[in-house]
Amino acid sequence: MTDKQLIVTISHQLGCRGSELGQRLSEQLGIPFFDREILVKVANELNLAESVVEGREERLSGFWQSLYRMAPVLSDLVEWLSSQSFEPDDQGLFQVESECIVRIAEHGSGIFLGRCGRYVLRSHRCLFNILHADPADRVHRAQQLFCLETGDAKELIAKNDRDRAAYMRTFAREDWQRHHVESLLARKTVSR
């Protein structure tokens, strides 16, 4: 990384328009924005469908999902070892995503959305942002994005927040809710 590189990480909640902000910043600063590109690179590296990687991003697998991933190993080790694709456990997937993010950051400036970017790029000089939005705005945005009724949108947001919090605690050793509170307190202090 050179002194002229600019690395921005954006950590966001569902419905806070993190992707839109990242794309807008990318256009204004003239540097690349990385979101789905990371997913595509990781899926290609692991020889998995993008939908498999996307379904596991920023959330931990449950017990039965983890056991299911081990089933090929337990039933037919030879066939599993000779297969072209490999679906890693949560730690393995996090490691592959992290390595991908670091490789990209080492080659130039960029804006990285989610995926514990702040933690992964902690040894780089970077700007870090946490995006929050009013709960009603988040619900409205989730309704638009996923064509959901209000109750379903609220449930999706609550589940997503729990999943991301568990993911952040596990891999980044950070408390997502603490950052949320600190960000809100900082915003209130600045606005006074």
Residue 81 confidence (pLDDT) = 52
Q: Are 38 and 100 in contact (CB under 8 A)?
A: yes
Q: CA–CA separation, 20 vs 44, rounded Å?
A: 25
- 127 phi and psi, to 5 degrees? -90, 140
User: Which residues are 134's β-sheet partners?
Assistant: none
Residue 52 confidence (pLDDT) = 85
Compare 184 and 90 and report the one with higher pLDDT: 90
Name the strand (E) or helix (H) holding 8: strand 7-12
Q: What is the pTM of this model?
A: 0.79
> Model confidence at 64, in pLDDT bands (50, 70, 90)?
very low
DSSP state of 62: P
Q: CA–CA separation, 12 vs 130, rounded Å?
A: 5
How wide is the angle at C-alpha 161 spanned by C-alphas 155 and 167, nearest 5°?
135
Task: Give yes or no for residue 191 having a pLDDT over 50.
Answer: no
Q: CA–CA separation, 145 vs 143, rounded Å?
A: 6
User: Which residues are 8's β-sheet partners?
Assistant: 111, 127
Question: Tokens 């991003």 appear where?
Answer: 57
> Model confidence at 89, in pLDDT bands (50, 70, 90)?
confident
Closest CA to 5 of 128, 117, 105: 105
Share of the chain above pLDDT 70, in %: 75
Residue 189 confidence (pLDDT) = 40
Cα 67 to its chain centre, rounded Å, is 23
Domains of the chain: 7-191 (3.40.50.300)
Helix (H, G, I), strand (E, B) or coil at 85: coil
How wide is the angle at C-alpha 71 spanned by C-alphas 65 and 73, nearest 5°?
130
> Model confidence at 57, in pLDDT bands (50, 70, 90)?
confident
Neighbours of 71 (CB within 10 A): 10
Compare 93 and 87 and report the one with higher pLDDT: 93
Segment 104-113 shows an average pLDDT of 94
